Structure 1
Amino acid sequence: MDFDYIHTELAKPHVTLTLLHEVYLRQAQEEGAIPYAYRTFTEHYHNFARKHKATMRIRRKPGELIEVDWAGTTLFVQDPDSGERIPVYVFVASLPCSQLAYVEGSFSMDLPAWIKLHQNYFAYFNGVSHILVPDNLKTGITKHTSKELVINKTYAEMARHYGTVVMPTRVRSPHDKASVESSVKAVFTWIIAALRSTTCFSLDELNQEIRTKLEAFNHHPFTKKEGSRWSAFLEEEQFALLPMPETRYSLAEWRTAKVQPDYHIAEKGMFYSAPYDYIGYWVEVKVSEESLEIYFNHMRIASHPTLIGTYGQHRTVPEHMPDTHRQYTEQTPQHALEWGASILIPYFD
């Protein structure tokens, strides 16, 4: 059997050992040879891959998915003025096929931090997997039951921008996240435990220490096979990742608001107009650093540049106003004079 061919074919989407065994059976029959049974076939491939290849492709295909999670243990940075120890949450991403990992610390576990950390590990891997597999964190997953899956809109939008999809682990199914939990355990030994006595005075300083430990972890030789996580990634997985998009995703958060009687919505102390027909309706609001967009039933009804500076500013589009309001605001002294002149009754001696 040509095991190099089998190993290469297994990297392709939807190709399985069962399918390759069927092809092998047909070839053996055509050649008049006695074929191996499926169990023997897989055992021979398993022995070949374990001895000669860095990765196994029976359970995971290259570039198929990335698993992400927060480590259960926190690190700390010390405030240089007060001496206070500030907790740092540790984010871990893992490629199950090559076992390559990415680790970074964050002061927060909120949505902006979650999105930023995803973008950072995409850049580290220089590619994106076809599937993102987070745990059922409220940051990214709004609702997940046996009947319904609701992904946070910002998280889903970020995934679409990078050409991937989000498929969280099933509730109460620990086997779904075995790879990332294994990486978290290794990261705890190599990074978290190793930095337990290291004093850092800023998040950047701590992340530099984490990156040093991470590189040592990813380049450390495997104990039972040749190569390292990094060499396995370069040789057998990087090619299968999706390419990075030309532009970086611009974070946008989704909120809800009610269109007020003055046909404006409020967002962080600023006011933005919507068509007056939607007064009293609840709308969805997409907010980024550059723009604010208003949606009703998934249809965009208004778009504004995001206001910055003093609270209380208004951004009003004239077309959003009732005709009477618009006529009033567009009045000028010249209009008044012209109107007055048009109704004057000529005086005759």
Structure 2
Amino acid sequence: MTKYREILRLSSLGLSQQNIATSCGVSKKTVNRVLKRANELNIHWSLGPNDTDAVLASRLFPPSHREVPARPMPNFELIRKELMHNGVSKKLLWMEYVEDCKKCSQKPLMYSQFCYHIQQDEQKRRASMHIKRNSAEQIEVDWAGDTATFINPETGKPVKAYVFVGVLSYSKYAYAEAFLDMKQKSWINAHVHMYEFFGGVSKILIPDNCKTAVVRSGNWNEQCINRSYQEMAEHYGTAIIPARVMAPKDKPNAEGAVGNISTWIIAALRKEQFFSLHELNKAIRQRLILFNQRPFQKREGSRESIFLGEEKPYLAPLPATRFELCEWKLATVQFNYHISIEGMLYSVPYEYIKKKVSARVTDRLIEIFSNHERIASHMRLYGPAGQYSTVAEHMPKNHQEYLQWNGECFRSWASRIGVNTHIVVSKILSSNKIEQQGYRSCMGLLQLANKHSAELLEAACQKALTFSSSPSYKNIKNILVTRKNELLPNEKAVKACIPHGITRGADYYRR
């Protein structure tokens, strides 16, 4: 704005119009026009404190009240959303705006004015507020846009490495590490290494809106944190507050550090060759130390000095144990009461057959949950696929009994009934090429004791041994059905009353 007060003041001191123009940074013509208009309105120095340049401008050169036909303004909110679509330009939106004005018989803005008003609206939206950060309050994390590379020694081809960046908001102290991918495991490990590098934990963690941090982000007010990421935050005692979608100012320090690290670390290493990820990260760590020690341009000290002196003492201590990365998987319990995790099978209680369960998978442990309640736990299996980890208590009772079947178990069971039963069971087990083939016959034989009695079964086995040296389960069952009366306690008396038949027995003729 023209310095009207200064022009009038210098004129009262007797300065020439040329000197006044030079002092006020205006043309001589402007000085002449202002002084002439002031004389016409009888405005002279000195002026009151309320007679500002704006007030003098309205008195000396009041605006004309010529009515200009109003032109409709575009819908800035709609234009802002439309410009986010691929291929949509201001020129296209202006042509659509002109067509809408013609339909309403209104005179539209010219294209230059259309763009000018859009620019003015955008500048209002760019208003930013400085928020003072407290020491040890928050850490901002992100992946760097530029990638580093190392040479695969086997193929000789370059391999991309993605650089993770973490920054303490107060001191701007930074951490950087390269990974082969940006998946969940790398994301979690990066945080674990970052906390160990800082030697403590901040109250708040601000990540980007990536899938490894946020499960859904359609509505900023209803964001859901990734389950593994949330467990990590609970382990370290910090709160996760994700940045909004397309809102880089929610984590400005991370965005700024990404640019600086891309320049001072990634770009600085472009001429060096590395043959492993370990070598690359070793070089990044050396550059990172120098980066944190570099003095600030507009602030006293460096990132490292402020971190060590003003921030590190206030960080929360690290937990006693390092966080163990876990993954959550959804599985259906099969009819064999096992679930499959990466080719291995782990048992759950048989009551959960065909139900959906959640499995928490770590490097050493598999935990299975139903409705947030742990129902099973197994040591993780490694090696060839198809291995089983089975807990006997998870099996139905009859399956548990079958699991206990073995030759010694059957012999011990038979010996408690009687000597003859023990002999028959031993004969059945030894009559097969594989002992396990006789388990069902032995089980059926021993169950006959429950149906009849242990005494009758022992007597039937004794009777069968007189007929054959290797009686079968079927022989003994038939004896119990057809000759039950002959197996009563007075068996000898009954035998004496029999007038015919072979009475000497098979053992006599065998000799």
Cα deviation, residue 204, structure 1? 1.1
Aligned positions of 1:44-59 closer than 5 A: 59=132
Unmatched tracts of structure 2, length 5 or more: 1-129, 415-444, 460-486, 493-511
2:153: which partner in 1?
80
Give the Cα separation in 2 of the matches to 1:67 and 1:58.
14
1:32: which partner in 2?
none
Residue by residue over 1:260-290, the C-alpha shift from the partner in whole angstroms, topping out at 9 and shown as x without a partner, is 1111000111110011111111110001122
Give the Cα separation in 2 of the matches to 1:230 and 1:183.
14
1:44: which partner in 2?
none
Cα deviation, residue 172, structure 1? 2.8
1:284: which partner in 2?
358
Give the Cα separation in 2 of the matches to 1:249 and 1:205.
25
1:92: which partner in 2?
165
Give the Cα separation in 1 of the matches to 2:222 and 2:132.
27
1:238: which partner in 2?
312
Letter in 2 for 1:140: A
Moved more, 332-341 or 179-188: 332-341
1:247: which partner in 2?
321
2:212: which partner in 1?
139
Give the Cα separation in 1 of the matches to 2:229 and 2:259.
26
- Provide runs of 4+ in structure 1 moved above 6 Å: none
| CA shift in 2, pair 1:223/1:284, >3 Å | same
2:294: which partner in 1?
220
Contact 2:248 2:255 in 1 (8 A): no
- RMSD, aligned α-carbons: 1.6
Cα deviation, residue 138, structure 1? 0.9
Q: More strand per residue: 1 or 2? A: 1
Give the Cα separation in 1 of the matches to 2:257 and 2:134.
18
2:227: which partner in 1?
153
Give the Cα separation in 2 of the matches to 1:225 and 1:164.
29
* TM-score normalised by length of structure 1: 0.80
Letter in 2 for 1:92: V
Give 3-state SS (helix, strand or coil) of 1:238's partner: helix
Letter in 1 for 2:180: F
Q: Whose radius of gyration is greater, 1 or 2?
A: 2
Cα deviation, residue 227, structure 1? 0.8
1:29: which partner in 2?
none
Residue by residue over 1:117-145, the C-alpha shift from the partner in whole angstroms, topping out at 9 and shown as x without a partner, is 11111111100111111101112221122
* TM-score normalised by length of structure 2: 0.55
Q: How many equivalent residue pairs?
A: 293
Letter in 2 for 1:203: L
Calculate percent identity across the aligned residue pairs. Answer: 45
Contact 2:365 2:380 in 1 (8 A): yes
Aligned positions of 1:137-216 closer than 5 A: 137-144=210-217, 145-216=219-290
Residue by residue over 1:45-95, the C-alpha shift from the partner in whole angstroms, topping out at 9 and shown as x without a partner, is xxxxxxxxxxxx952111111111000111110122322010010110011
Cα deviation, residue 335, structure 1? 4.2
Residue by residue over 1:94-130, the C-alpha shift from the partner in whole angstroms, topping out at 9 and shown as x without a partner, is 1111001001111121111111111111111100111
Cα deviation, residue 298, structure 1? 0.5
Give the Cα separation in 2 of the matches to 1:257 and 1:184.
39
Cα deviation, residue 189, structure 1? 1.4
**Greater relative contact order structure (CA < 8 Å, 6+ sep):** 1
Give 3-state SS (helix, strand or coil) of 2:169's partner: coil
Give the Cα separation in 2 of the matches to 1:168 and 1:273.
38
Letter in 1 for 2:197: Y
2:29: which partner in 1?
none
1:127: which partner in 2?
200
Unmatched tracts of structure 1, length 5 or more: 1-56
